[in-house]
Amino acid sequence: MNIPLQPTRSQLMSDTSKGFLAGLMVVMCWSGFNIVSRFGSKGVFTPFDLAAMRYGISGLLGSVYFLRNVPYVDWPRYVTLSVFGGLGYGLFVYSGFSFAPSAHAGIFVNGGIPFCTVVIVALTTRFHLARQTVFALVISACGLLLIGIDSLLSHHGQEAFIGDLLFLAAALSWAIFGILMRRWQIRPLLGICGIACFAMAIYWPVYLIFLPKNLLMAGWGDITLQCVYQGIIAAMVAASLYSYANQKIGACQASMMLALVPAASAIGAYFILAEQLTWSVILGILVVSAGAIIGAMPTRVAGQLSK
């Protein structure tokens, strides 16, 4: 006599653990993205060069798989995802790096994504925000302010303000992308390959004909670094992991984990770029980490919000 197995609860816990692990890997990838992108923007590359490498490499890698596995009738959804998660996010964030330092990106992009995601989900689903979620957002906001207070107070020019607005626009674009991926239940690999395919098809003709470029002026080492990180790690690996975490633990909880990116970016910049950590940054790291952990912890209401 066969004894029926009841794996539902254990499978749920396993999926949740995998979702959190994927979220932590996204934090590592995007922390490196902030450092590598700022390094590239301070060199000879234009924002359009960085975007070209991102879309070109990821497009070449993902187009064949996408075209072989997705019917034409489903293409409009992938074009929409490409507008928000590909072109919108990439162009906004790369342009922002030309005006504002990487500290601003960590604050306004990775700190802004959780806010945008939670607000959009609450407005579109008519769910009341859980107290835990609101509390976590407030804590994270305080920590983000502590991390960015030095750079924010020392940059009052118009350029930094423009960069901040671009970073916020990038955060909004990515939040919409994450929500659509979960709502449409698109497989992460197909979603990322579709974004890469259409972003390359739309962007590269415009880049080659109209946009300023310094790609040929850069050294092969710099080009290789940016191509690998922008086109593979950031565009495909990190985006796939974020989509996977979205489907396993929900849009709200996955986006809340991104509040750890500014802290991880600050630590990485300290060791890699020799940027000093002030006491306000160290305190902010602890506060943001606490807010991210609280926001990522599952509750009944948070679970309803993420559906």
Is 12 within a domain?
no
Is 6 within a domain?
no
Mean pLDDT, residues 18-45 taken together: 88
Task: Give yes or no for a contact between 238 and 195, defined as CB atoms under 8 angstroms apart.
Answer: no
- Spell out the residues 6+ positions from residue 186 whose beta carbon is closer than 8 angstroms to its own: 77, 78, 81, 194, 243
pTM of the model: 0.80
Bigger pLDDT: 214 vs 7: 214
What is the domain extent for residue 136? Answer: 26-305
Is 241 within a domain?
yes
Length of the chain: 307
Q: Tell me, what amino acid is at 293?
A: I
Secondary structure tally for the chain: helices H, strands E: 15, 0
Rounded to whole angstroms, what are the CA distances from 67 to 60, 193, 248? 12, 9, 26
Residue 197: per-residue pLDDT: 95
Q: How many Å apart are CA 37 and CA 228, to the nearest integer?
A: 12
pLDDT tens for 194-203 read: 999 999 999 9
Angle formed at CA 198 by CA 195 and CA 199, multiple of 5 degrees: 75
Average of per-residue pLDDT values in the chain: 82
Q: Tell me the torsion sign for CA atoms 235, 241, 242, 246.
A: positive
pLDDT tier for residue 261 given thresholds of 50, 70 and 90? confident
pLDDT tier for residue 301 given thresholds of 50, 70 and 90? very low
Q: How many Å apart are CA 40 and CA 215, to the nearest integer?
A: 11
Is 18 within a domain?
no
Is 229 within a domain?
yes
Q: Tell me, what amino acid is at 171?
A: A
Is 21 within a domain?
no
Q: How many Å apart are CA 250 and CA 301, to the nearest integer?
A: 12
Specify the number of domains making up the chain. 1
Q: How many Å apart are CA 265 and CA 88, to the nearest integer?
A: 22
* DSSP state at residue 212: -
* DSSP state at residue 8: H
Is 4 within a domain?
no
- DSSP for 169-207 reads HHHHHHHHHHHHHHHTT--HHHHHHHHHHHHHHHHHHHH
Is 8 within a domain?
no
Angle, helices 131-154 vs 112-125, to 10°: value is 140
